Amino acid sequence: MSAATAFRSIAKVVANREMSEGMGARVRRSIGTAEVRRLDPFLLLDHFTIRPPAGFPDHPHRGFETVTYVLKGAVEHEDFAGHRGRIGPGDLQWMTAGRGIVHAEMPAVQEESVGLQLWINLPADQKMCEPAYQEMLDAEVPRASPFGEDGGAEVKVIAGEQFGVHSRVRTRTPILYVDVKLDAGKELVHTIPESYNGLVYVLDGKGEFGSKGTQSTRYHTLLLSHDGGRMQVKAADDTPLHYLLIAGEPLNEPVAQYGPFVMSDEEGIATTMLDYQTNSNGFERARKWRSGIADRH
């Protein structure tokens, strides 16, 4: 059996417990913990819950991209360049922080808002690119139907390609990001580029994952082995399964991180902190800027 046709197994299972983050927010962190510090090219994955006045008020970024994907409620975002918007259930925002951005992300409704934020590292030669956004409404995200018109599964292709369906998102670092809802008893086989690092995050239900049928339930992260180009998933016979499959081409570059700044070395971090403190080299507009959405809370 070739590596392309071999099946991956589950190398590690991590239970994700709630923790505090931002201003009163609660998150279940999959990447960015002592157990999973990084998964190249990914720096962080948070499953967040916010309700006013909780949220993520004005804060900076440099050197990577963030993907915010809303499952429930609505989230507003605003930055110092005048970009502002709102995303609701199924919508996503892909933000390239590049050389510098200061923004806020706050709940847009009074009830609970739930979503995920993924941080993707940028290659060293792109860390100082100009900031950019891609936004996509739920209806615009391509879907794959692996079982045809009979249903049984819905696969939202947020990034990359799956079951012959390609995402419309342009990625600087090659990744695969799919949201899968699988009916009880159904089984899927995902194709994953052999070189990619990958994980599954279980949002709801229970199922079996990988070549050894590792069982898992919601709020667990499953790290994939590196021994194949395919992965099996089977939902339990008595309940549907909802999970994310996220994988990416490793950059294999040095990483220096200080909070919301990610560069290639400590010198880059020191320069970034100075730039932020002096409102220069990408942070000029931060000097007098305050978001309107954070002030409301």
The DSSP symbol for 39 reads B
SS3 48: strand
Closest by CA to 127, choosing from 104, 151, 97, 94, is 97
Q: How far apart are CA 32 and CA 36, in angstroms?
A: 6
Within 10 A of 6 (CB to CB), how many other CB atoms are there? 15
Whole-number CA gyration radius for the chain: 19
Find the largest Cα–Cα distance for the chain: 61
Known binder of ligand: residue 190? no
Known binder of ligand: residue 61? yes
Q: How far apart are CA 156 and CA 154, in angstroms?
A: 7
∠ CA 213-47-162, rounded to 5°: 55
Q: What are the DSSP calls for 230-272, one per residue?
A: EEEEEE-TTS-EEEEEEEE-------EEETTEEESSHHHHHHH
Closest by CA to 127, choosing from 264, 271, 276, 279, is 264
Binding site, annotated residues: 59, 61, 103, 105
Binding site, annotated residues for Fe cation: 59, 61, 103, 105
